[in-house]
A and B are shown apart, each in its own frame.
Chain A
């Protein structure tokens, strides 16, 4: 079963085409990596798929619902983590999770339970009542992820979740991603780190709004005759 089906998805800002007729499918439970240089159109694509931006043409089915006509349905089934940290800095860790959990309609008792479990997993329990502004970036990113999947969405969109985060936290973050995928959550993640690309089940490389390559990391390496995704990327961009 496909979680995401993009069909000629296109976005133009005026005369500039940020996303140009991209087509791809993502399977349920898959970790799908979305690579591309700065300005390639990754964020624009994610925003369209999560209902923040209307496509100029084309469509995408998210969990079977069209982003053009059924965005209300989609919103119940997705989680989203913005490239720019966008939880409330002036609320505490708990208050943020409580706010978003409630908005997604999780009953209060259950919500408390889930928040506690989630914070325990993240080893953030002692920061529960700290203002988000006061915790380090790495923890903020983990918190944003935990909040994005608190309502157990079918699909979660992560836009550069690990940018600016130290290697140890990055590794922990990917553990969380794997855990979520193991629970059946489809992961759609953009990144600039090539080592992270290797962790994905499948990756795609985007350039100037077009999807240029798509496949498993091994397939792409073979196809280009190199040993790492980094080389694939460099070779590809230099072409």
Chain B
């Protein structure tokens, strides 16, 4: 135990002293989050907004007026039917639909709760995420103002009386809305497989591993001493990614965070095992880099990050049964975007656990203290 703790300490000291690694760990996620999604033109200039007014009261009309005066929105006017609104959204003519319920004025004035439905065109996640915040601010500010003007102190104190229901409109599950959570997957994968493989091969290259191999240290102690620090770094990176996702894109995890973290922890072990296995096979950093990148690209292309897995040919679907990233991607989609339960991702969790066991066993078996 003391040996493993010492090895962990050694690894952390080295990581924190490596300017290159530190900048990769801290800057990479930020750069990825900021640049990657925007490459697909997510510039937010003006958001097109349309309304369904079921109340048709003074208050509801004033609220709609409020949107027109905001610089962020361009009003596309009133719409009669939900189906027409859907059509507009499909054609990308509108970004938001605000639906004011019947008895809106009555409920607000009577200081009862009211629920406004917002439908966001989530084909473009970034626009939808940021825009949603704007819409809610406009509504919130307006109601607060109204309350103050009419002396309804209770209402202005208790903003909870007003709620919005947000519907993400994204019928075809267009790939763009997967990019942001997909970056989380890429981050975790890179730390797990890439950084660890390179770290171990580097010890081989500079010869420090020889000094370790002549000691009575056991293989599993050595591997745990490598694995735990990179596992912790990977988890930290993932949590940082979740914060950035919230901060920049207002995407919050819809499902249970503990379940998400647990599955991420398992996925990290899969990637660590893979990284160690590669480093045992590769002779130098160049080889390791090449193998990792080859696998990485295959994993990413098949994982459903850029193209939905449903539309893939049979052979690709078959290979995906061996692709840990595809299972994890699925989990992320379900947990982050859709808010699924653990029972919905049980199969994925079990598969990833089996993969973790197999790859780590392979890593231990292939790690040689002495060479032939």
Seen from chain A, the residues whose Cβ lies within 8 Å of a Cβ on chain B are: 50-54, 71-72, 75-76, 78, 80, 82, 84-91, 95, 98-100, 102-105, 108, 131
Tell whether, in the assembled complex, residue A52 and residue B210 are in contact, meaning their CB atoms are under 8 Å apart: yes
Tell whether, in the assembled complex, residue B14 and residue A50 are in contact, meaning their CB atoms are under 8 Å apart: no
A-B contacts, CB under 8 A, total: 72
Tell whether, in the assembled complex, residue B10 and residue A99 are in contact, meaning their CB atoms are under 8 Å apart: yes
Tell whether, in the assembled complex, residue A103 and residue B216 are in contact, meaning their CB atoms are under 8 Å apart: yes
A54 to B206, CA, bound (A): 21
Seen from chain B, the residues whose Cβ lies within 8 Å of a Cβ on chain A are: 2-3, 6-7, 10, 13-14, 17-18, 206-208, 210-217, 369-372
Minimum Cβ distance to chain B for residue A46 (Å): 10
Q: A50-B214, A51-B214, A103-B6 are in contact. Are A84 and B370 (CB under 8 A)?
A: no
Tell whether, in the assembled complex, residue B217 and residue A103 are in contact, meaning their CB atoms are under 8 Å apart: yes
Tell whether, in the assembled complex, residue B210 and residue A86 are in contact, meaning their CB atoms are under 8 Å apart: yes
Q: Which residues of the partner chain B approach A86 to less than 8 Å between Cβ atoms?
A: 206-208, 210-211
Q: Which 7 A-B pairs have the closest CB atoms?
A: A80-B214, A102-B6, A86-B207, A75-B216, A86-B211, A103-B215, A76-B216
Tell whether, in the assembled complex, residue B6 and residue A98 are in contact, meaning their CB atoms are under 8 Å apart: yes
Q: Which residues of the partner chain A approach B371 to less than 8 Å between Cβ atoms?
A: 52-54
Q: A82-B207, A82-B210 are in contact. Are A95 and B370 (CB under 8 A)?
A: no
A71 to B267, CA, bound (A): 35
Q: Which residues of the partner chain B approach A54 to less than 8 Å between Cβ atoms?
A: 370-372
- In the complex, the chain A residue whose C-beta lies closest to that of B5 is A102
A76 to B208, CA, bound (A): 18
8 A-B pairs with C-beta separation under 8 A: A51-B370, A52-B213, A82-B210, A87-B208, A90-B13, A99-B7, A100-B215, A102-B3
A99 to B371, CA, bound (A): 24
- Interface hub of B3, B17, B211 (most chain A Cβ within 10 A): B211
Q: A51-B369, A51-B370, A99-B6 are in contact. Are A90 and B17 (CB under 8 A)?
A: yes
Q: Which residues of the partner chain A approach B369 to less than 8 Å between Cβ atoms?
A: 51-52
Minimum Cβ distance to chain A for residue B215 (Å): 5
Tell whether, in the assembled complex, residue A72 and residue B216 are in contact, meaning their CB atoms are under 8 Å apart: yes
Partner of A88 from the list B14, B213, B217 (CB cut-off 8 Å) is B14
Minimum Cβ distance to chain B for residue A199 (Å): 25
Minimum Cβ distance to chain B for residue A25 (Å): 22
A71 to B13, CA, bound (A): 30
A102 to B4, CA, bound (A): 10
Q: Which residues of the partner chain A approach B212 to less than 8 Å between Cβ atoms?
A: 103
Minimum Cβ distance to chain B for residue A87 (Å): 7
Q: A52-B214, A72-B216, A80-B214 are in contact. List 18 more A-B contacts (CB 8 A).
A: A50-B214, A51-B370, A54-B370, A54-B372, A75-B214, A80-B211, A82-B207, A84-B207, A86-B208, A88-B14, A89-B206, A90-B13, A91-B14, A102-B2, A103-B3, A103-B212, A104-B216, A108-B2
- In the complex, the chain A residue whose C-beta lies closest to that of B215 is A103
A204 to B342, CA, bound (A): 69
Minimum Cβ distance to chain B for residue A205 (Å): 26
Tell whether, in the assembled complex, residue A91 and residue B10 are in contact, meaning their CB atoms are under 8 Å apart: yes
Minimum Cβ distance to chain B for residue A154 (Å): 13
- Interface hub of A84, A99, A100, A104 (most chain B Cβ within 10 A): A99
A76 to B214, CA, bound (A): 9
A72 to B217, CA, bound (A): 9
Q: Which residues of the partner chain B approach A80 to less than 8 Å between Cβ atoms?
A: 211, 214
- In the complex, the chain A residue whose C-beta lies closest to that of B212 is A103
Minimum Cβ distance to chain A for residue B23 (Å): 16
Q: Which residues of the partner chain A approach B215 to less than 8 Å between Cβ atoms?
A: 75, 100, 103-104
- In the complex, the chain B residue whose C-beta lies closest to that of A99 is B10
A84 to B207, CA, bound (A): 7
Tell whether, in the assembled complex, residue A90 and residue B18 are in contact, meaning their CB atoms are under 8 Å apart: yes
Tell whether, in the assembled complex, residue B207 and residue A95 are in contact, meaning their CB atoms are under 8 Å apart: no
- Interface hub of A76, A90, A95 (most chain B Cβ within 10 A): A90
- In the complex, the chain B residue whose C-beta lies closest to that of A104 is B215
